[in-house]
Amino acid sequence: MWPGRTRHITRPPIALVNRLARRLESEGRDIINLGQAILGLPPPSSALEAVRRGIAQPGTHAYSPDPGLDAVLARTATFLRTHKHITGASPRNLMLTCGASQAFANAVFTTTNPGDEVIVFGPYYFDHVFAIQLAACTPVEVPFAKEGSRFAIDLDLVERAVTAQTKGIVLVSPGNPTGFLADTGTLERLCQLCRRHELWLLSDETYDLLTFPPGTHVSPASLDVLERVCVVGSFSKTLGLAGWRIGYLHGPADMIEEAIKVQDALVVCAPVPAQLALLAALETIDTFSSRARSELLRRRDTMTRVLEASGLFDIHPPEGGTFLLARIRSAEPSLPFCTRLLEATGIVAVPGAAFGRHGEGHVRFSFGNQPVERILEAGERIAAVR
């Protein structure tokens, strides 16, 4: 048994299923990967053109300032004002990061001390819990409530989970793996609760522009209720830039000043070519994200239909994101279920146990990376093994 702090951290489950999938693929199997929460769209061509131009400039190969290049920070702040209605967004409140994971790590390390508690809603996004554990803090799990087949937040449960050690609450909306979308009323009450207990709200908004109508994404930072909001953002899905590692952290200026220290120690700065790609891509984010949303809607509807037709699952209809969480009707544990599914059908999906004890008994199917025809094919394979 490993002696260090990673002992309690489970190996990223996506890596485990992907590894098995790669083995099957190398044996000639046709794999349909519904595992990773990615979007199967390349970035806007303007972004790639900007990189082609950028790499001819010497500055592209040097470090940028820790928080990012001035022009990219300014442009990202504009995006936060126009698209996310965070009226006070400015470069002073902002830093560019190596993706949302790093933004979240910056936020956790900045707002806590070792031994503090941070509340997460379960089923949770595992990397958030890992980051909290790395920071020598304790993740405290509050289960999502249910309203019919939809997930919801029970503020009484949150209130009861708050202790003197609690420093923050993590909210992911649209949620991973739940597809949960927080409405304005819930957000206002959550912000009030945070204000009352002097907690930080760590708001992961990775899927903000991938919210499905009639829902609309609301950032808690756009409400004038709570100052201590950290917005964790990504362009991995909303601009197809996952491999480039670019995201951001937005928060009060004094928090960002502290988070820059963390960033300097962990990665120095976001990759400069990725910053250039982002600067160009933000100009077309409306076109890109609306195309992504309508494609995702078709894929979501197909995925829902084929999973329902299989009779194996109860579906939680997602209100945003690139995946859905399905309950296994047979109550079989999720890891053997997913392993069996992969071996029998070549379909990769993520066992719900990866998302904590409230995820057990579920499977996360990502539809973002497969065309409708492949999702239909997946449906036929699942129907055949039933």
Residues 236-295 that bind its own copies (CB under 8 A): 236, 240-245, 254, 257-262, 264-274
Between CA 30 and CA 134, with CA 356 as vertex, the angle to 5 degrees is: 105
Provide the mask over 99-118, with x wherever binding to its own copies is found by CB under 8 A and - wherever it is not: x-xx--x---xxxxxx----
Fill in the amino acid letter for 205: E
Amino acid in the structure at residue 351: P
In the shown chain, the binding pattern of residues 179 to 218 toward its own copies, with x for contact by CB under 8 A and - for none, equals ----------------------------------------
Query: At closest approach, how far in Å is the CB of 309 from its own copies?
Result: 29
Q: Give yes or no for a contact between 120 and 141, defined as CB atoms under 8 angstroms apart.
A: yes
**68: region left, alpha or beta (phi > 0 left; psi from -120 to 50 alpha):** left
- Least distance between its own copies and beta carbon 361 (Å): 24
According to CB under 8 A, which one of 26, 28, 63, 386 is a site residue for its own copies? 63
Go through the chain and tell me how many residues it has.
Answer: 386
Q: How far apart are CA 186 and CA 204, in angstroms?
A: 16
Quote the tokens at residue 76: 């990202």
With respect to its own copies, which residue has the nearer C-beta, 134 or 157? Answer: 134
Nearer Cβ to its own copies (40/215):
40
Contacts of 345 (CB under 8 A, 6+ apart): 32, 378, 381, 382, 384, 385
Does position 131 interact with its own copies (CB under 8 A)? The reply is: yes
> Does 130 interact with its own copies (rule: CB under 8 A)?
yes
How far is it, in rounded angstroms, from Cα 77 to Cα 92? Answer: 9
Told to check if 173 binds its own copies by CB under 8 A, we report: no
For its own copies, which residue of 46, 60, 192, 284 counts as binding (CB under 8 A)?
60
> What torsion, rounded to 10 degrees, do the Cα atoms 157, 160, 161, 162 define?
130
Q: Of 16 and 187, which has the nearer Cβ to its own copies?
A: 16
Tokens at residue 190, please? Answer: 């959550």
CB of 166 to its own copies, least distance (A): 14
* 43 is an interface residue for its own copies by CB under 8 A: yes
Least distance from its own copies to the Cβ atom of residue 221, Å: 19
Specify the residue, 266 or 384, whose C-beta has the smaller distance to its own copies: 266
CB of 162 to its own copies, least distance (A): 17
For 303, counting Cβ atoms within 10 Å of its Cβ (0-12 exposed, 13-18 middle, 19+ buried), the class is buried
3-state secondary structure of 204: strand
- Does 156 help bind its own copies (rule: CB under 8 A)? no
Q: Exactly one of 51, 278, 349, 354 binds its own copies (CB under 8 A); which one?
A: 51
CB of 149 to its own copies, least distance (A): 30
Q: Which is nearer to its own copies, 2 or 214 (CB)?
A: 2
Least distance to its own copies from the beta carbon of 257, Å? 8
Tell me which residue of 322, 306, 272, 247 sits closest to 79, measured CA to CA.
247
Give the nearest distance from C-beta 184 to its own copies in angstroms.
29
Q: Contact, 229 vs 256, CB < 8 A?
A: no
**Residue 53 binds its own copies, judged by CB under 8 A:** no
Residue placing its CB nearer to its own copies in the complex, 164 or 265: 265
Question: Which of 275/302 has CB closer to its own copies?
Answer: 275
Helix axes 334-345, 13-26, angle to 10 degrees: 20
Q: How far is the CB of 352 from its own copies (least distance, A)?
A: 18
Q: What are the structure tokens assigned to 255, written together?
A: 């928090």
The answer to whether 204 touches 232, Cβ cutoff 8 Å, is: yes
Nearer to its own copies, 188 or 227 (CB): 227
